[in-house]
């Protein structure tokens, strides 16, 4: 199937504007499953008030996936994978949104990730990085009530909290719950992306370096593209094709623009990783992370030191990579 069709569920939501609540306002999901905003808590219809998110709510820590409140019939399972033991919880109604069950989707994504890792020389922390995983599938009504608004209203289909807690918002992947193969492929991509975050955390978790969203999203988006070629329900090369199209939009100018959280920014950040891997291989990328550890420096500083590239050199490498990569249908 066309790459653009496959990715439509996933990447378009990443381009939505940040959703900080205006002072005094509230968000709620109405009976048609549509997110609405009102100026006061009293304006939220009584039947939706318990799950509304208001600007004056006290911030709370996100609960562990095993403790997230799920309405309706809830199912749970636990199984071993080559990445470690995985505990998965989901609402029964989520099964109607995909062709495969959430537990099957997690198993398949774990298998693709493991094949991707075994196919290359990743760092020892990643190669032998078995750990316990908790994964929760939740609808957007329950997500809005329990997660920060900038995650739910911005439409993020998934997120990861270190070291390996993954949350999937099903409505943002399969909005009409059609149970189609397209939705299955999109779900696999989201899982691969979030697993990518956890994998990167294996090598940077204890580093005393500033938070770098461009780096973390770049690695996860690169790993998503790389590992997708090992997934059964995603056409080979299709994820990279779509990321390429997004990156071309962002790289239209002479220099890359700052990371702004858009889908195009995710693509450009991933392209930085692809450029390193294209020239230096995955072992070279691991050397960059090793330099980060040894020198306690940022990814950009370690990459420039290892590759000897200036920003201009990196930009040219990224453009070259895009020009040399065709698109599949």
Domains of the chain: 65-324 (1.10.390.10)
Helix (DSSP H) and strand (DSSP E) numbers for the chain: 11, 8
Task: Inform me whether the pLDDT recorded for 8 exceeds 60.
Answer: no
Q: Coil, strand, or helix at residue 159? A: strand
What separation in angstroms does the CA of 262 have from each of 169, 247, 258, 269? 19, 11, 10, 11
DSSP secondary structure string for all residues of 53-107: EETTSPP-PPPPGGGS---SSEEEEEEEETTEEEEEEEEGGGGGGSSS-HHHHHH
Scan for tokens 């204890």, then name that residue.
Answer: 206
Scan for tokens 């995985």, then name that residue.
Answer: 86
Higher-scoring residue by pLDDT: 27, 103: 103
pLDDT, one tens digit per residue, over 181-197 is: 788 999 999 999 999 99
In this structure, the dihedral spanned by the alpha carbons of residues 252, 217, 212 and 316, taken in order and rounded to 10 degrees, is -30
Q: Report the alpha-carbon distance of residue 286 to residue 283 in Å, rounded.
A: 5
The end-to-end CA distance of the chain, in Å, is 7
**Degrees, nearest 5: CA angle 76-77-82:** 145
What percentage of the chain exceeds 90 in pLDDT? 56
Q: Report the alpha-carbon distance of residue 198 to residue 201 in Å, rounded.
A: 5
113 confidence band (pLDDT: 50, 70, 90): very high
Q: Is-contact 103 33, C-beta < 8 A?
A: no
Q: Looking at residues 58-75, what average pLDDT do you find?
A: 89
Q: Report the alpha-carbon distance of residue 70 to residue 90 in Å, rounded.
A: 7
Higher-scoring residue by pLDDT: 116, 19: 116
What separation in angstroms does the CA of 66 have from each of 105, 143, 184? 18, 14, 23
The pLDDT assigned to 59 comes to 66
The pLDDT assigned to 15 comes to 33
pLDDT, one tens digit per residue, over 244-256 is: 999 988 877 655 5
Q: Is-contact 173 10, C-beta < 8 A?
A: yes
38 confidence band (pLDDT: 50, 70, 90): confident
Q: Report the alpha-carbon distance of residue 125 to residue 198 in Å, rounded.
A: 12
The pLDDT assigned to 234 comes to 94
Higher-scoring residue by pLDDT: 10, 58: 58
The pLDDT assigned to 253 comes to 60
The pLDDT assigned to 191 comes to 98
Task: Inform me whether the pLDDT recorded for 277 exceeds 90.
Answer: yes
Q: How many CB atoms lie within 10 A of CB 73?
A: 10
The pLDDT assigned to 16 comes to 32
Phi and psi at 115, nearest 5°, equal: -60, -40
Higher-scoring residue by pLDDT: 117, 32: 117
pTM score of the predicted model: 0.86
Phi and psi at 135, nearest 5°, equal: -135, 130
């Amino acid at each position: 199937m066309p790459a653009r069709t496959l990715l439509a569920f996933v990447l378009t939501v990443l381009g939505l504007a940040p959703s900080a609540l205006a002072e005094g306002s509230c968000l709620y999901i109405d009976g048609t499953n549509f997110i609405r905003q009102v100026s006061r808590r009293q304006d939220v219809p009584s039947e939706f008030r318990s799950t509304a998110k208001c600007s004056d709510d006290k911030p709370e820590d996100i609960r562990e996936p095993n403790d997230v409140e799920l309405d309706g019939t809830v199912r749970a399972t636990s199984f071993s994978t080559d990445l470690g033991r995985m505990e998965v919880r989901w609402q029964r109604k989520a099964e109607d949104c995909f062709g495969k069950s959430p537990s099957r989707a997690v198993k398949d994504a774990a298998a693709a990730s493991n094949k991707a890792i075994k196919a290359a020389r990743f760092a020892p922390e990643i190669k032998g990085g078995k750990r316990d995983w908790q994964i929760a599938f939740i609808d957007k009504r329950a997500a809005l009530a329990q997660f920060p608004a900038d995650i739910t209203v911005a439409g993020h289909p998934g997120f990861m909290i270190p070291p390996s807690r993954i949350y999937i918002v099903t409505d943002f992947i399969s909005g009409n719950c059609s149970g189609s193969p397209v939705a299955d492929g999109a779900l696999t991509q989201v899982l691969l992306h979030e697993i990518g975050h956890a994998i990167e955390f294996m090598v940077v978790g204890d580093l005393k370096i500033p938070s770098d969203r461009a780096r973390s999203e770049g690695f996860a988006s690169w790993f998503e593209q790389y590992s997708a070629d090992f997934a059964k329900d995603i056409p080979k090369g299709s994820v990279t094709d779509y990321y390429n199209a997004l990156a071309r939009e962002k790289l239209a100018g002479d220099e890359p623009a700052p990371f702004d959280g858009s889908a195009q920014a995710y693509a450009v950040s991933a392209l930085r990783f692809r450029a390193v891997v294209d020239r230096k291989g995955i072992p070279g990328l691991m050397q960059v992370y090793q330099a980060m550890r040894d020198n306690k420096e940022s990814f950009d500083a370690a990459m420039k030191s290892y590759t000897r590239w200036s920003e201009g050199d990196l930009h040219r490498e990224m453009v070259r990579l895009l020009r040399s990569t065709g698109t599949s249908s």
